[in-house]
Every structure is written in C-alpha cells, then in structure tokens.
C-alpha cells in the first residue's frame, strides 16, 4: 500500500507541475485534461515497473475529486446545490476507492481481466494495457466529468434547480446502491459453503449487477445535473451513453462469461434474475 500511495502522490505532483507550466492563455479545462493524461502516464510507468496493471484501478475514483477541486478553485461555489453535488461525488469517490483498495491483495494480485489479456496478447500486452486499461478509462471519466464543469460554471440566478436536485439524488442513490451491494456480496462470500454458489440474496436477487447499475446512476446523475445550466448542450448526453455502452459492451459480458465458467448455477440465475434493471413485478421463478 505504501507503493500505491507513493505512485499516486508522484503522479499528482507531476501533473500539478505540468499544469503550472502550461501556457497562461490555455483554458482551465484544457490544462486539467493535459494534467490528467500526465498523471495517467506516471501511473502507467509505475504499473509497468511493478508488472501489475491493477495499480491503475483506484485512478477511476481518485482522479475526479482532484479535477473538481481545481475547477472549483477557478469558478468558485455559486450555490449550495453545487456544493452538495461536489460533496455527493466525493462520497462516491471515497466509497469506491476504499472498496477498491480493501479488496486488492497487493502487488501479487492483478485483476483477472488483465491476467486474461496477458495470456492472449503476450508481448503486445503492455501497449494494450497503456491504451485500454490506463488511457481509455481516463478519457471516458474525463469526458463524463465535462457535464460537471458545465454545472459548476452556472450562476445562482440562472440555475434550474430541479435538474440539480434530480442529479444529486441519482448520484447519492447510485453510491448507496453500490455500497449496499458490495457489503451484501462480501457477507455472502464469507458465509457461502462452496465457491460455486451464486449470490441471489438482497440486491443481487433483484438484478445480476447492482453495482454496475449504481455506477451508471452516478454518471447519469452528473449529466442530468449539468442541465441546471441552460447553456449545457443537449449532446452532452453522449458521455453517459458512452459509459453505458462500455458497461454493456464489455464489463457486463466479461463478468457474465467468467461467472458461467466458474459457477454452473449462474445459468439459472441468468434465467430468473434481470441483468441490470429490476422487474417492477414479482421475481421470476
């Protein structure tokens, strides 16, 4: 954990230096984007050094609060709702970061997806790791944070409060959903009699991926809140749509495939439990 802390400290210090020496005429948004990429490159160098791409995993939830802090420093807090939204995202960040670090077994523990890539790609693994495991998530999280910039930039007089309130509710709902789902899964893993058992209790009996549903709720909440600013372009919905496409196109199918391989009972779970959105009526038997 000391190495992980050192990695992120160095990454953000180098990013801060890069931000400081970028041209004065460059916009804050452009400067934070470049600094974000610089920090990602530093984390990748550490990942390559220790030969473990999981070193990057906390970056998903650690980077956004840093971005928001820099943006707030430049635009200020125009209203209580902006403060509440930033606080909600900080709650999301702390919860996800703690969960990620607490479940990481150290340098000898690498995410099973990355291990699979190693086996398939061989010598091409590290270029793919940089582009797909490190750079792509940084880009998509920064893109999904752009609505937050728009939300922060509005003035108190022009705020459409209903959008802000709905967005905050989505973020809090998603974060609590993830928190409860992860705790229920942890309890199930401690108490199960066999490694092949499937969790269908609590939230996991309502949908197969409640934690992914929570994550998507957070980013859709950020986008919805941005429309409190009447100047937010409608096409900003493309950002949470891209996040949703990533989950449906890779994250969920990869997890489903792994579950089917390791747990035969998961076939029955797929037939009886909805993938992401719980049914409004009773559970299918």
Which domain does 63 fall in, by range? Answer: 2-272
Residue-wise pLDDT tens digits, 127-169: 999 999 999 999 999 999 999 999 988 765 567 889 999 999 9
Q: Which two tokens stand for residue 5?
A: 């802390």
Q: Is the pLDDT of residue 211 over 70?
A: yes
CA distance 19 to 253: 38
Place of tokens 């802390």: 5
DSSP 228-267: TBTTS-GGGGHHHHHHHHHIIIIIHHHHHHHHHHH-TTHH
Q: Note the pLDDT of residue 285.
A: 46
* Averaged pLDDT for residues 97-118: 89
Instruction: Give the mean pLDDT of the chain.
Output: 91
* Averaged pLDDT for residues 97-120: 89
Q: Note the pLDDT of residue 237.
A: 95
* Averaged pLDDT for residues 243-253: 93
Contact criterion met (CB below 8 Å) for 214 and 178: yes
In a domain, 283, yes or no: no
How many domains are contained in the chain? 1
In a domain, 35, yes or no: yes
- The whole-model pTM stands at 0.91
Q: In 10 A of CB 117, how many CB atoms?
A: 20
In a domain, 278, yes or no: no
In a domain, 263, yes or no: yes
Residue-wise pLDDT tens digits, 67-76: 999 998 888 7
Tell which residue, 88, 85, 27, 68, has the closest CA to residue 227.
85
Q: Note the pLDDT of residue 28.
A: 92
Q: Which two tokens stand for residue 254?
A: 């990869």
Q: Note the pLDDT of residue 78.
A: 67
In a domain, 279, yes or no: no
In a domain, 259, yes or no: yes
CA 4 to chain CA mean position, Å: 18
Q: Which two tokens stand for residue 169?
A: 């509710």
In a domain, 280, yes or no: no
Q: In 10 A of CB 143, how many CB atoms?
A: 17
* Averaged pLDDT for residues 216-237: 93
In a domain, 284, yes or no: no
């Amino acid at each position: 954990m000391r190495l992980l802390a050192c990695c992120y400290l160095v990454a953000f210090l180098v990013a801060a230096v890069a931000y400081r020496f970028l041209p004065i005429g460059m916009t804050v948004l452009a400067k934070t984007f470049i600094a974000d990429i610089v920090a990602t490159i530093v984390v990748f160098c550490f990942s390559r050094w220790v030969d473990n791409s999981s070193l990057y995993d906390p970056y998903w939830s650690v980077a956004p609060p840093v971005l928001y802090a820099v943006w707030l420093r430049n635009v200020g807090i125009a209203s209580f709702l902006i403060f509440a939204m930033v606080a909600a995202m900080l709650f999301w960040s702390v919860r996800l970061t703690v969960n990620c670090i607490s479940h990481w077994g150290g340098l000898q523990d690498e995410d099973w997806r990355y291990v699979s890539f190693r086996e398939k790609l061989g010598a091409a693994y590290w270029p793919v790791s940089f582009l797909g495991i490190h750079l792509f998530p940084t880009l998509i999280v920064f893109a999904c944070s752009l609505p937050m910039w728009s939300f922060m930039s509005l003035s108190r007089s022009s705020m459409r409060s209903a959008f802000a309130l709905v967005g905050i509710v989505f973020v809090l709902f998603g974060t609590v959903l993830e928190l409860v789902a992860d705790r229920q899964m942890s309890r199930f893993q401690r108490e199960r009699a066999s490694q092949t058992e499937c969790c269908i209790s609590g939230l996991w009996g309502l949908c197969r991926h409640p934690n992914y549903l929570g994550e998507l709720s957070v980013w859709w909440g950020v986008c919805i809140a941005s429309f409190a600013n009447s100047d937010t372009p409608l096409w900003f919905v493309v950002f949470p749509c891209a996040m949703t496409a990533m989950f449906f196109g890779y994250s969920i199918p990869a997890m489903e495939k792994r579950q089917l391989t390791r747990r035969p009972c998961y076939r029955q779970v797929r037939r009886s439990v909805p993938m992401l959105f719980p049914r409004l009526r009773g559970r299918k038997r």
